[in-house]
């Protein structure tokens, strides 16, 4: 039985939030989420199966563990970049 199911529900990039603070908040939470996912995947035994939930449904598709790991890593990087950009813009705006 696959014990370690990875539910990456929010893998897609978040829609642009309108207030910068709200957007930053959402971004931050997503980053932490993604961090956990990456951490879990990295610590997973090799014979484990990884399922990914189809968005907005209850079906879980069997995915390749390594593939998912790399994917989630990429997403995390992307999110971090976004967050950085947002912070930069805010600091610039204040100045």
By CB under 8 A, residue 18 contacts other proteins: yes
Considering only CA atoms, give the Rg of the chain. 15
Nearer to other proteins, 5 or 86 (CB): 5
Selected range binding other proteins among 30-38, 50-58, 72-80, 87-95, rule: CB under 8 A: 50-58
Return the closest-CA partner of residue 59 out of 93, 9, 94, 22. Answer: 9
End-to-end CA distance of the chain: 55
| Residue 19 is a binding residue for other proteins (CB under 8 A) | yes
The contact set with other proteins (CB under 8 A) reads 1-2, 5, 12, 15, 17-19, 51, 54-56, 58-62
């Amino acid at each position: 039985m696959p014990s370690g199911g990875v539910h990456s529900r929010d893998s897609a990039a978040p829609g642009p939030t309108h207030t910068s603070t709200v957007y930053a908040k959402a971004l931050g939470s997503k980053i932490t989420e993604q961090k956990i996912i990456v951490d879990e995947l990295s610590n997973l035994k090799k014979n484990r199966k990884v399922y990914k939930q189809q968005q907005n449904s209850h079906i879980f598709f069997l995915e390749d563990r390594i593939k998912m790991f790399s994917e989630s890593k990429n997403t995390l990087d992307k999110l971090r970049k976004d967050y950085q950009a947002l912070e930069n813009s805010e600091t610039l705006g204040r100045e």
